[in-house]
Amino acid sequence: MNLTVVGTGYVGLVSGTCFAEMGNTVTCIDIDSKKINNLKKGIIPIYEPGLEAMVMRNVQNKTLQFSTDLSVHLDKIDVVFIAVGTPMGDDGSADLQYVLQVAKEIGRHMTHPMIIVDKSTVPVGTADKVKRTIQEELNIRKLSIDFDVVSNPEFLKEGDAINDFMKPDRVVIGADNEEAAKKMRTLYSPFFRSSADRLILMDVRSAEMTKYVANAMLATKISFMNEIANICELVGADVNKVRIGIGSDSRIGYSFIYPGSGYGGSCFPKDVKALKRTAEEHGYTANLISSVETVNDKQKLIIAQKVVKRFGEDLKGKTFAIWGLAFKPETDDMREAPAIYTIRELTNRGAKIQAYDPKAMDEAKDFYLKDIKSISYHSSKYETLQNADAMILLTEWKEFRSPDFEEIKVQLKQPIIFDGRNQYNDTQMDELGIEYFQIGKQT
């Protein structure tokens, strides 16, 4: 099929590239000309394993191209995907201005029937707004063209996005028209060739809701476990054992019950807030969803609190080595990362930071921690430790999993580790003489 994908952010770029890989002809559009020029040269704006090679391959095969102009890329197109950002508005709701701008542009330039797909995470009712916006433009042009607006939320995880797209657990399609549903099934069926058909068809509003509910459910699991971890510490239990104990019940399962220093990223924080806001707009107070957010806000400061408990309120003259800045491994994304909150809290109290992350240091320097003077960035994890008072692990990158603990002991002023992701074994830490602080177990 001939596809146009509008928005070359995470979702748009991965989706467009994977559709091209599956044999479709895809044009990815973005208004950011610098981004588009870079993409044409094979320079990818994000770090995502496997993406660069796949983009290059499809550009060479001429199945993937990039452009800044949507108006000239609607000709002979079967499906247009809207994958632009839906940033959080001041009141917590999703800001739809970019989605509706694209809808307007489509209405202004479409010349034949097509399917318009909402792939951005958008609140319930957005497909209706997109439809109205396109129709208004067609009315101005005095044209009558059939089109369908379909909801197709994206469930990919950063760091594993290609795999999630190429071998999906499920594809959710919300369509109010059988023809449109049939076309979407044809587009996705190659992705299920090696597995059972996992395409779930429903009405548009249920599909829009499914995206928020999936993320809110996962965020709830994490906040629940973080709260349990805090209770475990108080009663002298070990959350690592409790996690295995409960996960073995197949109704609960092992996934997404790892306690830590809170969830971050571009999705969970924004989507939990937006779902709460949607409920409010309909006169409902979503108490559980609100608590998920409150627990997470507190949890992002849990490691800083442990440091204060160990070193005192005033951290002037203290230096901490931070291992990991990204909100999770295999990404350079620092949006809502616990590292931002931890580092701000420590530096506000006078501490100096020596940081290392395999991929996210540019993001930190140029954007998220740009204003912080008392931070230095280092080219290796061991270099951060020199003369530091303690090491703090905040992202579970593979290279942090089994480090040389003797080297850590040599470099640090005193052997103290704060672990925001429970990566190490406390018995081993004891044997090594390392003072070890983790989440959900008393030291």
Q: In the range 290-349, which residues lie near ligand UGA by CB under 6 A?
A: 327-328
Place of tokens 């309909």: 282
Nearer to ligand UGA, 268 or 311 (CB): 268
Specify the residue, 265 or 358, whose C-beta has the smaller distance to ligand UGA: 265
Work out how close the CB of 160 gets to ligand UGA at its nearest, in angstroms, rounded to a whole number. 8
Is position 162 an interface residue for ligand UGA (rule: CB under 6 A)?
A: no
For the CA atoms of 17, 265, 88, 303, what is the dihedral angle to 10 degrees?
Answer: -170
Instruction: Return the range that interacts with ligand UGA (CB under 6 A); candidates 14-22, 148-156, 344-352, 372-380.
Output: 148-156
Cβ-contact 331, 400 below 8 angstroms: no
**Quick check: is 267 catalytic?**
yes
Q: How far apart are the first and last CA of the chain?
A: 59
155 touches ligand UGA by CB under 6 A? yes
Detail the residues annotated as belonging to a binding site for substrate: 155-158, 211, 256-260, 264, 328
Widest Cα–Cα separation across the chain: 79
How crowded is the C-beta side of 130, counted as CA atoms within 13 Å? 28
Footprint on residues 97-136 left by ligand UGA (CB under 6 A)? 121
C-alpha pair distances (Å), 417 with each of 185, 314, 337, 433, 443: 51, 19, 20, 11, 11
Rounded distance between C-alpha atoms, residue 347 and residue 7, angstroms? 36
Q: Which is nearer to ligand UGA, 104 or 298 (CB)?
A: 298
Q: How far apart are CA 115 and CA 2, in angstroms?
A: 11
Q: Does 212 bind ligand UGA (CB under 6 A)?
A: no
Q: Indicate which single residue of 47, 66, 165, 263 sits in contact with ligand UGA (rule: CB under 6 A).
A: 263
The correct pick among 48, 154, 233, 330 for binding ligand UGA (CB under 6 A) is 154
* Angle between helices 204-235 and 287-299 in degrees, nearest 10: 50
For position 224 contacting ligand UGA by CB under 6 A, the verdict is no
> Considering only 57-65, 155-163, 283-291, 314-322, which stretch makes contact with ligand UGA by CB under 6 A?
155-163
Who contacts 75 (Cβ-Cβ below 8 Å, separation ≥6)? Answer: 111
Residue 61: DSSP 8-state: T
Q: Kindly state the smallest distance separating residue 70's Cβ from ligand UGA, in Å.
A: 23
Give the residue from 364, 390, 363 showing the smallest Cα distance to 375.
364
Q: How far is the CB of 16 from ligand UGA (least distance, A)?
A: 15
Q: What angle do CA 439, 441, 443 make, to 5 degrees?
A: 105
> What are phi and psi for residue 364, nearest 5 degrees?
-65, -50
- C-alpha distances in Å from residue 96, one per residue of 121, 172, 443: 10, 21, 47
Looking at 138-146, 233-241, 250-258, 360-368, which segment touches ligand UGA (CB under 6 A)?
250-258
Our CB check for ligand UGA shows the closer of 28 and 218 to be 218
Give the binding range for ligand UGA (CB under 6 A) out of 97-105, 261-269, 359-367, 376-384.
261-269
**Residue located via tokens 């996690």:** 243
Applying CB under 6 A, among 258, 311, 356, 368 the residue interacting with ligand UGA is 258
Active site residues: 267
Please report, as ranges, the residues that interact with ligand UGA according to CB under 6 A: 121, 154-158, 215, 218, 222, 256-258, 260, 263-265, 267-268, 327-328
